[in-house]
Amino acid sequence: MDEAFLSVDKLRVAYGPQPVLDELSLGVARGEFVALLGASGCGKTTLLRSIAGFIRPQAGQIRVQGRDVTAFAPDARGMAFVFQSYALWPHMTVAQNIGYALKLRRTPHAKIHQRVEEIAAMLGLAGLEQRKPAALSGGQRQRVALGRALAADPEILLLDEPLSNLDARIRLAVRHEISALQKRLGITAVHVTHYREEAMIMADRIVILDQGRIAQAGTPHELYNRPASAFVAAFMGAENAIALEGDHADGRLTLHSPHAPVPCVTEILAGACNGHYQARFRSDAARLVDAGERTDGGLRLRGLVSQVSYPGGLWRHAIQFGEHTVIVDAHEARIPGETVDLLVPRDRLFVFPSAADAPRGDTRH
Amino acid sequence: MRGKSHPGFDRLGTNGISGSHADNESPKEPFALSLSKGGRFRHGAVFSRFDLIAGLWWLPRALMLGALAFAIFGPLCNLLLWAVAEKWYFPHALPLEYGFSFWGRVFSARGNAWEALGTSVMVAGLTVLASLALAIPAGYALARLKLPFRALILLAFLIPQAFPNLPVYVNVARLFYAIGLNGTVAGVVIVHVTHGLVYAVWIATAAFAAIDRELEEAARAAGASALRAFRDVSLPLAMPGLMASAIFVFLESLDEFTGSFFVGAPDVNTLPLLLYTAGAGGNYQIASISALLLLVPSIAFMLVLEKFLRADVLARIGQ
């Protein structure tokens, strides 16, 4: 196996008997921006803090360029860390905060000053150098935290939800700034977040964590269009879920539902069997058609429009099938109470064996 | 000295008490009066709309404030009067003669005041240094480490305060006598440290606990060793709390009497011991002057540390 620049090998961290990270392995290439995405409690911050050296793992290794740093103290790892709370030192000025790492390396005073000016100019903090963090706005503090991390030219930058304390509008701008900066400086970055969109915009590769394991890792495009599990599909925005029965024959899977007027036939690559399946799709993936209209291919379901709203752009419909309710966005509004058919094209329908059945599906289409 | 203090002896028996009783009336009245004037003036316009009872809202508050002011300043006024009184006896509400002859006596070579003041300040200073030297590591450990009996350990520092002073110090004196610490500055400092450590450790623990752990981690990530992170981040941030504890310990040490008496006297003569000797001998002037002298280092020390004691910092101590 090719040794990655930063590699995590079978890392195990547990608080008490319950493992937070369960034999987790991950490689990050030099200059790559990896986002760790997951719900709170999935272990993403624990993984980041283990890489930084704040948490001592029970088992496993962390290597940088092939060198085992697992036993190293945080200050011996040459990584920079940006905290969610920013953790700026309140008794130091902006300049002192940014220049601290250089001061520790006994950099000459003039050189520190020059570097601080440089960083401040780069991050739009010029003129604020003599202020204390308490006299800065949230966005400015975030920049100081970033500047402090970047001042000593770290090879690895670890970001722990650094944008979650910012206003929504500033956050949108800072996302692009950070990833542009990371590309320009060629730093290897690991970013923890629980916002899908943030991860998709900033990262080269997204690693989705679920209960201390990697659920799926891949480019934003891969994860969005080819989720490997129902969990990943749901995390990637395919919130609508439908339970279906599947018959497996001749390399084809035929899906039935009491709400489906015609069965849906899909091609199966591996691991399929007869039993329960779950289909997932995004609200903008489905189309509403009249009950009489003829279509072919895809999953067609007949339901009742129970609610219509207009969040902007498209009309949002809540469609009911027995006890299931799905959300479908359409260009034209339907009338509540109307019976409609809903059509999900095969390439936008994600089908997975239900948790109780079979191995994890490698289903496509 | 005895001959001169003879008329003073008269004062002591009866006049001392009735004298303070007479004082009771005089400062209170003008105070209440001035407040009542202010209250009436401000609320003149309101009277037309509200009834008389609502217009008297200030009265209980003014009385409370007056009583509080008297409780704080009354004894101090009495002290000041005694310090400049040449002659004062029953039934006179105020001294009959004013002068500074007792000041001269206190500060004379035979008066021991300078020496006692020096000893007191030295003992208090050493007590502060020793307490902080113990409280900084102890407070940091109690704030940061997962100790099994944290609450119990914190409570243990209260033990020297929890028992009656007298029997404890009598026994301490016996023990110190055996190991040659009795009558030494070191012995007195040790006694004062055990007494002051509860403030120092509790406040230091609170001060360190109030510091976000991530601030230290940020320093570690920047490349600082654990010790360097402590020096550059934790210690400066805990400093206001530590300074507050230093003031407590200093003031505690400065007017500590029982321990100094049993362990220090007569070789280590602090100001409270001098004050006690003077007070017990009926020398109210000398006792008052010693007491005023005792205020000097207290106020000086507080002024020196005042810049650390901003209200926002003090408010954080309890967290």
The CATH topology of domain A238-353 is OB fold (Dihydrolipoamide Acetyltransferase, E2P) (2.40.50)
User: Looking at CA atoms only, how far is residue A332 from chain B in angstroms?
Assistant: 52
Q: Which of these, A252, A254, A241, lies nearest to A285 by C-alpha position? A: A241
Domain-ending residue, one of B69, B99, B129: B99
Q: Is B197 exposed, middle or buried (0-12, 13-18, 19+ CB in 10 A)?
A: buried
* B129, HSE (Cβ side, Cα atoms, 13 Å): 8
Question: Is 50 exceeded by the pLDDT of residue B318?
Answer: no
Q: Does B295 touch chain A (CB under 8 A)?
A: no
Per-residue model confidence (pLDDT) at position A37: 92
Chain B (219-278) residues lying within 8 Å, Cβ to Cβ, of chain A: 219-226, 228, 232-233, 236-237
* Torsion on CA atoms B132, B133, B134, B138, rounded to nearest 10: 80
Whether B170 maps to a domain, the answer reads yes
For residues B95 and B117, membership in a common domain is answered with no
Q: Which of these, A242, B135, A168, A187, lies nearest to B143 by C-alpha position? A: B135
For residues B85 and B185, membership in a common domain is answered with no
CATH number of this structure's domain A6-230: 3.40.50.300
By Cβ distance, the residue of B214, B215, B224 closest to A104 is: B224
Contacting residues of A for B214, CB less than 8 Å apart? 83, 85, 87
User: Looking at CA atoms only, how far is residue A327 from chain B in angstroms?
Assistant: 42
Per-residue model confidence (pLDDT) at position B1: 36
Host domain of residue B10:
6-99
For residues B173 and B304, membership in a common domain is answered with yes
Q: Which of these, A229, A263, A262, lies nearest to A247 by C-alpha position? A: A263
CA dist., res. A344 & res. A266, Å (int): 12
Domain-ending residue, one of B51, B67, B99: B99
Transcribe B34-59 into DSSP letters: HHHHHHHHHTTTGGGTS-HHHHTTHH
Chain A (134-173) residues lying within 8 Å, Cβ to Cβ, of chain B: 148-149, 152
By Cβ distance, the residue of B214, B221, B225 closest to A85 is: B214
Per-residue model confidence (pLDDT) at position A309: 93
Q: Which of these, B267, B232, B251, lies nearest to B302 by C-alpha position? A: B251
B94-122 pLDDT per residue, tens: 888 888 888 877 777 676 778 888 889 99
Domain-ending residue, one of B65, B99, B133: B99
Residue with tokens 């280092």: B297
For residues B232 and B267, membership in a common domain is answered with yes
- Angle of the B185-209 helix axis to the B113-144 helix axis, nearest 10: 40
For residues B185 and B285, membership in a common domain is answered with yes
Nearest residue of chain B to residue A54 (CA atoms): B217
List chain A domain ranges: 6-230, 238-353
For residues B63 and B122, membership in a common domain is answered with no
Q: How many domains does chain B have?
A: 2
Q: How many A×B Cβ pairs under 8 Å?
A: 60
* A80/B221 CB distance under 8 A: yes
CA dist., res. A31 & res. A296, Å (int): 46
CATH classification of the domain holding B246:
1.10.3720.10
Residue B208 neighbours by CB under 8 Å, 6+ apart: B139, B140, B142, B143, B144, B234, B238, B241
- What's the distance, Cα to Cα, between the start and end of chain A in Å? 31
Q: Which two tokens stand for residue A277?
A: 């399946």
Contact A127, A93 (CB under 8 A): no
A190-229 pLDDT per residue, tens: 999 988 889 999 999 999 999 889 999 999 999 999 998 8
CA dist., res. A141 & res. A295, Å (int): 56
Whether B104 maps to a domain, the answer reads no
* B215/A91 CB distance under 8 A: no
For residues B42 and B165, membership in a common domain is answered with no
Contact A48, A20 (CB under 8 A): no
Per-chain mean pLDDT for chain B: 78
Torsions phi, psi for A332 (to 5 deg): -115, 140
User: Looking at CA atoms only, how far is residue B266 from chain A in angstroms?
Assistant: 47
Q: Tell me, what amino acid is at B230?
A: F
Whether B44 maps to a domain, the answer reads yes
For residues B263 and B313, membership in a common domain is answered with yes
Contact B251, B51 (CB under 8 A): no
Percentage, residues of chain A above pLDDT 90: 41
For residues B92 and B184, membership in a common domain is answered with no
Chain A (102-131) residues lying within 8 Å, Cβ to Cβ, of chain B: 104-105
* B214/A87 CB distance under 8 A: yes
A70-99 pLDDT per residue, tens: 999 999 998 999 999 999 999 999 999 999
* A87/B212 CB distance under 8 A: yes
Q: Is A211 exposed, middle or buried (0-12, 13-18, 19+ CB in 10 A)?
A: middle
Domains A6-230 and A238-353 are alike in CATH topology: no
Residue B232 neighbours by CB under 8 Å, 6+ apart: A89, A100, B219, B224
Contact A268, A316 (CB under 8 A): no
For residues B62 and B118, membership in a common domain is answered with no
Nearest residue of chain B to residue A158 (CA atoms): B221
Whether B1 maps to a domain, the answer reads no
Residues of chain A falling short of pLDDT 50 = 1, 357-365
For residues B78 and B166, membership in a common domain is answered with no
Q: Does A89 touch chain B (CB under 8 A)?
A: yes
Contacting residues of B for A54, CB less than 8 Å apart? 217, 220
By Cβ distance, the residue of B215, B220, B225 closest to A89 is: B215
Instruction: Work out the number of other CB atoms within 10 angstroms of the CB of residue B73.
Output: 13
Contact B91, B13 (CB under 8 A): no
Q: Band the pLDDT of B84: cuts 50, 70, 90.
A: confident
Per-residue model confidence (pLDDT) at position B308: 65
Distance of CA A319 to the CA centre of its chain: 29
Q: Which of these, A95, A103, A53, A100, lies nearest to A74 by C-alpha position? A: A53
* A100/B232 CB distance under 8 A: yes
Among A100, A103, A144, A148, which would you mutate to test the B interface (most chain B Cβ atoms within 10 Å of its Cβ)?
A100
Among B144, B220, B307, B310, which would you mutate to test the A interface (most chain A Cβ atoms within 10 Å of its Cβ)?
B220
Contact B153, B228 (CB under 8 A): no
For residues B146 and B247, membership in a common domain is answered with yes
Q: Tell me, what amino acid is at A166?
A: L
B17-58 pLDDT per residue, tens: 333 444 444 443 444 434 444 444 444 444 555 677 777 788
- What's the distance, Cα to Cα, between the start and end of chain B in Å? 54
Contact A6, A27 (CB under 8 A): yes
Residue B210 neighbours by CB under 8 Å, 6+ apart: B238, B241, B316, B317, B319
Q: Band the pLDDT of B272: cuts 50, 70, 90.
A: confident
